[in-house]
């Protein structure tokens, strides 16, 4: 480094810096300039560096933002728009988490491409075989948070926030607490069928109350020109997902999990065992990264 600084600090105009080391009494000034030029030029003519290792060609998916691990936007990004949705946060007890992790381990062994809901960006190499992703150590990782959607995820403008949030709070003013029960494993597809989800559906406990809440949110959305929820709501929490429409494979997984839980194979009829339940106590609206509480019970508890 000192040598490089020496060449860069050498005056190119022949000024009275310390140039005596390059000259003799009989050397003309041009000779001094020529020597310095050769010395400086030689710095940039070093032997070429070896090529980078081939592993660098295998770029991790997490470093490629446009791909989003194969996911697609449900609507195009527009400056000033914020994705928003209304939901019920779902706490999961330690006992329920242990049961879910065991069942999802079975799901992972049957369908290795399933990912946990927090596993949206997989740090792995582009040349990997996604169907051989190892889950042997811990299976599908449970997300940190779960929720029941009361609306679609839709884009709203900044000025709509100031009216949508107060209106939602007004509609939920008379809300009471109730128990929500989960029991049946089902599969779901997003609107463009680019992802398949495996989840637990709300059974008898709390189902009618949640559908009433969805109707309240839909009323507020319509007043703001926002699309309503699905015609036949199926309240649930999503626990795992896979790219594309792989509903046939996912359905086999759901059927196996229902059998392990002792549930009837006929949807809407027969026996459905409650896997776990919790006492509903909150409704939120998430707009972009901002969370707006819509209704919060005075005390929250769950089993």
In a domain, residue 243? The reply is yes
Q: What is the pLDDT of residue 41?
A: 46
In a domain, residue 113? The reply is yes
Q: What is the pTM of this model?
A: 0.69
Catalytic residue among 68, 224, 236, 302: 236
Q: Which residue has the higher pLDDT, 49 or 218?
A: 218
pLDDT confidence bin for 83, thresholds 50/70/90:
very high
Q: How many CB atoms lie within 10 A of CB 154?
A: 18
Q: What is the pLDDT of residue 133?
A: 42
Mean of the pLDDT values across residues 83-108? 94
Q: What is the pLDDT of residue 209?
A: 97
Q: What is the pLDDT of residue 292?
A: 98
Provide the β-strand partners of residue 154: 84
Mean of the pLDDT values across residues 186-196? 94
Q: Is the pLDDT of residue 129 over 70?
A: no
Q: What is the pLDDT of residue 229?
A: 94
In a domain, residue 242? The reply is yes
In a domain, residue 273? The reply is yes
In a domain, residue 57? The reply is no
236 is catalytic: yes
In a domain, residue 132? The reply is no
Q: In this structure, what CATH number is given to the domain that contains residue 219?
A: 3.90.1140.10
For residue 162, what are the domain limits?
Answer: 96-119+141-296
The number of folded domains in the chain is 1
Catalytic residue among 68, 147, 159, 302: 147
* One-letter-per-residue 3-state SS of 217-275: HHHHHHHCCCCCCCCCCCCEEEEEEEECCCHHHHHHHHHHHHHHCCCCCCCCCCCCCCC
147 is catalytic: yes
107 within 8 A of 240, measured Cβ to Cβ: yes
Q: What is the pLDDT of residue 28?
A: 53
pLDDT confidence bin for 134, thresholds 50/70/90:
very low
In a domain, residue 53? The reply is no
In a domain, residue 180? The reply is yes
Q: What is the pLDDT of residue 204?
A: 84
24-49 pLDDT per residue, tens: 444 455 555 554 544 454 444 555 55
């Amino acid at each position: 480094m000192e040598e490089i600084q020496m060449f860069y600090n050498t005056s190119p105009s022949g000024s009275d810096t310390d140039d005596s080391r390059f000259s003799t009494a009989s050397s003309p000034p041009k000779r001094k300039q020529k020597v310095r030029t050769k010395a400086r030029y030689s710095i940039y003519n070093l032997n070429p560096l070896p090529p980078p290792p081939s592993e660098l060609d295998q770029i991790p998916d997490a470093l490629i933002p446009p791909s989003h691990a194969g996911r697609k936007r449900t609507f195009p990004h527009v400056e000033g728009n914020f994705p928003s949705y209304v939901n019920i946060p779902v706490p999961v007890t330690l006992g329920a988490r242990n049961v879910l992790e065991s069942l999802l381990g079975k799901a992972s062994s049957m369908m290795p491409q399933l990912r946990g809901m927090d596993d949206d960006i997989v740090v792995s190499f582009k040349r990997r075989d996604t169907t051989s992703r190892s889950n042997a150590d811990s299976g599908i990782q449970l997300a940190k948070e779960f929720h029941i959607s009361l609306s679609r995820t839709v884009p709203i403008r900044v000025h709509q926030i100031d009216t949508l949030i107060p209106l939602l709070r007004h509609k939920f003013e008379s809300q009471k607490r109730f128990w929500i029960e989960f029991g049946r494993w089902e599969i779901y597809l997003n609107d463009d069928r680019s992802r398949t989800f495996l989840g637990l559906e709300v059974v008898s406990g709390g189902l009618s109350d949640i559908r009433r809440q969805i109707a309240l949110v839909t009323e507020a959305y319509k007043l703001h020109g926002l699309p309503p929820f699905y015609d036949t709501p199926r309240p649930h929490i999503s626990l795992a997902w896979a790219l594309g429409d792989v509903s046939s494979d996912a359905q086999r997984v759901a059927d196996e999990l229902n059998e392990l839980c002792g549930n009837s194979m006929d949807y809407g009829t027969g026996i459905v065992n409650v896997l776990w339940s919790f006492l509903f106590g909150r409704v939120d609206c998430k707009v972009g990264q901002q969370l707006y509480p819509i209704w919060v019970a005075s005390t929250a508890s769950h089993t």
